[in-house]
Amino acid sequence: MGSPSVIVIGTGPSGISMAYTLKHKLGFDDFTIYEKLDGVGGTWRTNTYPGVGCDVPTILYSFHFNLNPNWSKELCDGPEILEYMESTTDKFDLRKHMTFSIECLGAAWNARTTMWDVNFRDQKTGIEFVRSATVLISAVGGISYPRDVHFDGMDKFQGAMFHTARWDHSVDYKGKRMAVIGNGCSAAQVVPTVVQDAAFVKQYARSPQWYHERPNRNFTKGETWAFRYLPLWERWKRLQLFLENDDLVSTYMPGVKASIKRAAVEDHAKKYIFSRAPKKYHHFLIPDFPLGCKRRIFDPNYLDALNAPNLEVVPEGIRAIDETGIINVDGTKDEFDVIVLATGFQVQKFLTPMEIIGKEGKSLNQQWKEHRGAQAYMGSYVHNFPNFAILFGPNTFPAHNSALFACEVQIEYVARTLLKPLLDQQASIIEVKGTSENQWVNSVHGQLRGSVFQAGCSNWYINEFGRNAASWPGYASTFWKEASIPRFGVFEKKGGSKLWFLRRLSRWLRTTSSTAYGLSVFLMVLGLWRNENFRGFIWRTADVALSYTRVVLER
- Distance in angstroms (rounded) separating the CA atoms of residues 460 and 473: 15
Q: How far is CA 332 from the centre of its chain?
A: 41
Which pLDDT score, from 0 to 100, does residue 528 have? 63
Q: Tell me the pLDDT band of 83, cut-offs 50, 70 and 90.
A: very high
Q: What is the pTM of this model?
A: 0.89
Which pLDDT score, from 0 to 100, does residue 200 have? 97
Question: Average pLDDT for residues 24-38, to the nearest whole number?
Answer: 95
Question: Average pLDDT for residues 291-302, to the nearest whole number?
Answer: 88
**Helix, strand or coil for residue 404?**
helix
Amino acid letter, residue 434: G
- DSSP β-bridge partners for residue 108: 117, 357
Question: Average pLDDT for residues 488-510, to the nearest whole number?
Answer: 86
Asked if pLDDT for residue 545 goes beyond 60, the answer is no
- Burial label for 464, CB within 10 Å (0-12, 13-18, 19+), is exposed
Examine residue 353 and say whether the peptide bond preceding it is cis (omega within 30 degrees of 0).
Answer: yes
Which pLDDT score, from 0 to 100, does residue 31 have? 97
Asked if pLDDT for residue 51 goes beyond 60, the answer is yes
Length of the chain: 555
- Distance in angstroms (rounded) separating the CA atoms of residues 133 and 147: 31
Considering just the CA atoms, what is the radius of gyration of the chain in Å? Answer: 27
Question: Average pLDDT for residues 310-314, to the nearest whole number?
Answer: 95
- Distance in angstroms (rounded) separating the CA atoms of residues 76 and 73: 6
Q: Tell me the pLDDT band of 535, cut-offs 50, 70 and 90.
A: low
pLDDT, one tens digit per residue, over 358-416 is 999 999 999 999 999 899 999 999 999 999 999 999 999 887 789 999 999 999 999 99
* Percentage of the residues of the chain whose pLDDT score is greater than 90: 68
Which pLDDT score, from 0 to 100, does residue 389 have? 98
Q: Tell me the pLDDT band of 2, cut-offs 50, 70 and 90.
A: low
Q: Alpha-carbon torsion 537, 539, 545, 550, what sign?
A: negative
- DSSP β-bridge partners for residue 121: 103, 128
Which pLDDT score, from 0 to 100, does residue 324 have? 95
pLDDT, one tens digit per residue, over 119-162 is 999 999 999 999 999 999 999 976 667 777 889 999 999 999 99
Which pLDDT score, from 0 to 100, does residue 508 have? 80
Question: Average pLDDT for residues 187-210, to the nearest whole number?
Answer: 93
Which pLDDT score, from 0 to 100, does residue 499 have? 83
DSSP string, 19-54: HHIIIIIS----EEEE-SSSSS-THHHH---TT-B-
Asked if pLDDT for residue 456 goes beyond 80, the answer is no
Q: Tell me the pLDDT band of 348, cut-offs 50, 70 and 90.
A: low
- Distance in angstroms (rounded) separating the CA atoms of residues 283 and 273: 11
Mean of per-residue pLDDT scores for the chain: 89
pLDDT, one tens digit per residue, over 207-236 is 888 999 988 899 999 999 999 999 899 999
Which pLDDT score, from 0 to 100, does residue 183 have? 87
550 Rama sector, left if φ>0, alpha if ψ -120 to 50, beta otherwise: alpha
Which pLDDT score, from 0 to 100, does residue 360 have? 93
- Assess contact for 98 and 40: CB atoms under 8 A: yes
Which pLDDT score, from 0 to 100, does residue 363 have? 95
Which pLDDT score, from 0 to 100, does residue 111 have? 95
Angle 233-247/221-229 helices, nearest 10 degrees? 110
